[in-house]
Amino acid sequence: MDEQEDINAVIRQHSEWLANQLHAQRESLFPPDASKQMRKFTSGEAATLLGVNDSYLRKLHLDGKGPSPEVTSGNRRLYSAHNIADLRVLLEKTARKPGDYLPGRRGDDHMQIIGVMNFKGGSGKTTTSAHLAQYLALQGYRVLGIDLDPQASFTALHGVQPEFDLFEGGTLYDAIRYDDPLPLSAVIQKTYFTNLDIVPGNLDLMEFEHDTPNALLRRDSGLFFTRVGNALAEVEQDYDVVVIDCPPQLGYLTMSALSAATAVLVTVHPQMLGKSR
């Protein structure tokens, strides 16, 4: 018995040492006060995003119209994403037709919800979700990204570290849980990316998978697959597009996201199936 206690003590000592080392490494790589910054765009890149000539942007700058870009020592103009968003508003005032420079919903258009999913991991689902959300934001759409994957890679890509920033919740689970749910607006966070907000994820999302079977037995909690859609209806007027990064399995979270989606993007592995011999 004494020998087993000695072994347990050594295991505890090693586990505590390993935990401390991992914590120190995380803090060195992702200090709590760290924040991601978006790079600036050259005048040529800004012109391409806006669909105008670089010379026209130069003329606007010289005429004192619109935001003032950063001018480098080499007389190069650099525009922030916020500058580009302001230019969209300015150019839209003289556009030939609505939406030329400031896209988004018009009239009775509804918010679009794109679910990015594949029930197999490693298919580029999170990368696709992030690139799609960021591209749409750069094009001038108001975008909400939702991380439904407990691994939370989409969340980390946008500057939120679940280990440090979400100690007390703050995921979609808080807005779709069966007991005392929060308004969706309470868990939406701004990102360093102009026009892109996110609902971060972490392991708390797994609670929905555990709670739903009990809710189904009680039969007093409504339809589980409507909960994501009902939560998104609360912010219907605030966004043009929602991009949902779904977990890599067909669980209750994925089925609820699928029910809410107006479009589904299925990623695939870029490879051929091997021929068996």
Please state the domain extents for the chain.
Answer: 41-92, 112-266
Please give the model's pTM, rounded to 2 decimal places. 0.83
Contact present, 260 and 112 (Cβ < 8 Å): no
What does each C-alpha distance from 11 to 5, 25, 64, 219 come to in angstroms? 10, 21, 68, 46
Helix (H, G, I), strand (E, B) or coil at 242: strand
Q: What is the side-by-side order of every strand in the sheet holding 70-71?
A: 41-42, 77-79, 70-71
Contact present, 222 and 165 (Cβ < 8 Å): no
Regarding beta strands 263-266 and 112-117, do their DSSP bridges make them parallel or antiparallel, or are they unpaired?
parallel
**Which token pair is 230?**
């009902």
Instruction: Say what the pLDDT of residue 34 is.
Output: 61
Instruction: Say what the pLDDT of residue 37 is.
Output: 83
**Which token pair is 131?**
């690139």
Instruction: Say what the pLDDT of residue 268 is.
Output: 86
Instruction: Say what the pLDDT of residue 258 is.
Output: 94
Instruction: Say what the pLDDT of residue 216 is.
Output: 86
Regarding beta strands 77-79 and 41-42, do their DSSP bridges make them parallel or antiparallel, or are they unpaired?
antiparallel
Classify residue 270 as exposed, middle or buried by CB count within 10 Å of its CB (0-12, 13-18, 19+): exposed
What does each C-alpha distance from 14 to 2, 9, 17, 142, 184 come to in angstroms? 18, 9, 5, 48, 42
pLDDT in tens, the chain (277 residues): 577 788 888 888 888 888 788 767 766 666 656 667 889 999 999 999 999 999 999 999 889 888 989 999 888 999 999 999 999 999 999 888 888 999 988 888 999 999 999 887 778 899 999 999 999 999 999 999 999 999 989 998 888 877 777 667 789 999 999 998 999 999 999 999 999 999 999 889 999 999 998 888 887 677 888 999 999 999 999 999 999 999 998 899 999 999 999 999 999 877 776 655 5
Instruction: Say what the pLDDT of residue 30 is.
Output: 60
One of 1.10.10.60, 3.40.50.970, 1.10.1660.10, 3.30.110.40 is the CATH number of 41-92, namely 1.10.1660.10
Regarding beta strands 189-190 and 196-199, do their DSSP bridges make them parallel or antiparallel, or are they unpaired?
antiparallel
Spatial distance between the Cα atoms of 160 and 187, rounded to a whole number of angstroms: 12
**Which token pair is 234?**
């609360």
One of 1.10.10.10, 2.30.110.10, 3.40.50.300, 3.40.462.10 is the CATH number of 112-266, namely 3.40.50.300
What separation, in Å, do the N-terminal and C-terminal C-alpha atoms of the chain show?
54
Instruction: Say what the pLDDT of residue 246 is.
Output: 94
